[in-house]
Structure 1
């Protein structure tokens, strides 16, 4: 009898343990890891925020994908790395896709990450009485990240649209993509103006180090300088060989990132800042930033987060600028630029 009772207790304990483990697995929502990958890009909160949200919420794990590392660098350097097949996925500004394709690497945009252009033109505060318009920058130093990057394209558009030749009428200075280096260059006067993105834009404005003469977040400025209300500015990209080799992987990465995009759109800046700054997978990307600053930055950029669909009109606006202002030597069609089977196409 005692032996029977003991055997029954061990069986019950095993059943209880199995039930607990089953419940934990069900609650986690995580699928078995089928893929491990790294992703490359520039540290730009406008394009990284959906990825950060997807990491913190476990959306990649739910799709059976483990993102082992996010690798950041300048846009040009990261484009070279993806072209060399060091990475299969990345998040990039518009200009990188036609530049890669024209350079022999068949990139495809598979998800829109931000539906507004992100680059503003900020000027150091000491010049407030002297530089009121872009054309007032003649003879001054204008900074950008690196040749071939989104910041470089935007700076070209600003200057050429104002009648200035970047090669002759200003000192056109590359600074790279490190936000600390860019901030220091503005603070010390190494540059008079910079084609900026986040976190630099909000930081120099809040600290009173600079003011903006082109404001990407303003509907009026966006129409004036970029020629449209919306723009296909930032995308999740991969290459055609990756799509052909493993379309299932591409679909999983797109779905997870799109869930992150939806989470960003539906979550208040205050809550999003708290979650991402505290989460072990994402807090390192906010090192040195204060919560009120992060909240303000999220408020400034949140209007550009859409549904993830790839806009033909947004593509045409960007392609027109890139060709008109000699950023790329020739246009490419939308069908070469994007693969819409996962995120869909929209007007």
Structure 2
């Protein structure tokens, strides 16, 4: 974790612990399932990204209300900032990459994933089309401007690891926070970044316009193993260990909703999904492209919600390669996730 993130966490901890406002419809990056159920607030590192699909999909399918929950989803451009808000007590949980629980343990913060939703990162490294032939692999990254969601984000972790793995000192690359969607697309099209790590539907949008080409693809198990050396569990719902211990009934209801959502994903295709999701989720790429992107990467979603046993060590290996807050420290992976709620789900 970067110095910037540590400063952000410290600053956030000093903020008031006021709760999150609940709204009845999607507005201003906030969406509530409504109803009179138990209130729960979750901040997601990019609600419209397909890698975080289960969070909004569970709401659209009514699964939160079925569990007696009134879940407020807040949109945040980067998982690192969502984690900061949870540390400050402003949200109850985070929809983000599992690797943050490892990084935070290195800083003395106890957080745990309560359900695993992706068995691969679903990330794609795109480069500007005018650089084709000049950037053929991460070995060509020295001195280049590389787009990530934000400093301290999972895309930052992965970008630095890939650079180092390919013989490039992470200090020699320029990592620039461009989030995703329109901001990342603008940065790419205006030449502010040479390459960028992103997900669907942004990938399809850039490929359709001819603005970029794929340098590497981690939307499949084989692609992930090739780049990272093994399975890399990504999207999860993670919460502070204190919250999990104090509210096991609420956590169980959330997990029940997400297990049902993961089953729905496996039983439906992209067209059926697009019919359920808000129209602005595919406004940039188009409904047909959104549906096709889902069908192409459907294999990224966890079939059961159980953490892949071989996954956490891969996440740890990536962080220990370069992250000073994890490197050289003893990390107890058994405390970074739990499967008990998934196993108890009906």
TM-score scaled by structure 1?
A: 0.83
CA deviations over 1:25-66 (Å, ceiling 9, x no partner): xxxxx9984301221021163442112221111111000001
Q: Secondary structure at the match of 2:249?
A: helix
Q: In structure 2, the residue corresponding to 1:167 is in which secondary structure?
A: helix
Q: 1:69, 1:134 → 2: CA distance?
A: 35
Residue 97 (structure 1) aligned with residue 98 (structure 2): no
Q: 1:24 is matched with which residue? A: none
- 2: CA distance between counterparts of 1:299 and 1:202? 12
Distance (Å, rounded) in 2 between the aligned partners of 1:217 and 1:257:
21
Write the distance in 1 (CA, Å) between the matches of 2:321 and 2:238: 24
- 1:283-294 equivalences under 5 Å are 283-294=279-290
Corresponding residue for residue 58 of structure 1: 62
CA positional deviation for 1:83: 1.0
Contact 1:31 1:62 in 2 (8 A): no
1:190 is aligned to 2:189: no
1:40: which partner in 2? 43
Query: Is 1:338 aligned to residue 337 of structure 2?
Result: yes
Which residue of structure 2 aligns with residue 315 of structure 1?
Answer: 312
Distance apart, 1:303 and its partner CA: 0.6
Is contact 2:201-2:282 (8 Å) kept? Answer: no
> What is residue 27 of structure 1 aligned with on the other side?
none
**TM-aligned CA deviation for residue 118 of structure 1:** 2.0
Map 1:106-255 to 2 at 5 A.
106-168=110-172, 170=173, 172-228=174-230, 230-255=231-256
DSSP 3-state at the match of 2:167: coil
Q: How many Å apart are 1:200 and its aligned residue?
A: 2.1
- Other structure's SS at 2:170 match: coil
Deviation string, structure 1 residues 161-201 (Cα, Å, up to 9, x no partner): 11001212x3x132242421111011111111112222322
Please name the residue that 2:20 is paired with. none
Choose which of 80, 85, 88 in structure 2 pairs with 1:81.
Answer: 85
2-side partners of 1:35 and 1:176: how far apart?
35
Query: How many angstroms apart in 2 are the aligned matches of 1:331 and 1:302?
Result: 35
For the Cα contact (< 8 Å) 1:88–1:238, is it kept in 2? Answer: yes
| Alignment CA distance shift 1:235-1:331 (3 Å) | farther
Distance in 2 between the 1:137 and 1:117 partners?
21
Tell me if the contact between 1:142 and 1:194 (Cα under 8 Å) persists in the aligned partners: yes
What SS does the corresponding residue of 1:312 show, helix, strand or coil? coil
Deviations 1:207-236 (A, max 9, x none): 2111111111244432221112x3211211
CA distance in 2, matches of 1:338, 1:218: 23
When the two chains are superposed, the root-mean-square deviation of aligned CA atoms in Å is 2.2
8 A Cα contact 1:226 1:321, kept in partner: yes
Contact kept in structure 2, 1:40 and 1:78, CA below 8 Å: yes
- Counterpart of 2:298 (choices 293, 296, 302) is 302
Give the number of the structure whose residues are more often helix, by fraction. 1
Structure 2 contact 113–239 (Cα < 8 Å) conserved: yes
User: How many Å apart are 1:273 and its aligned residue?
Assistant: 1.0
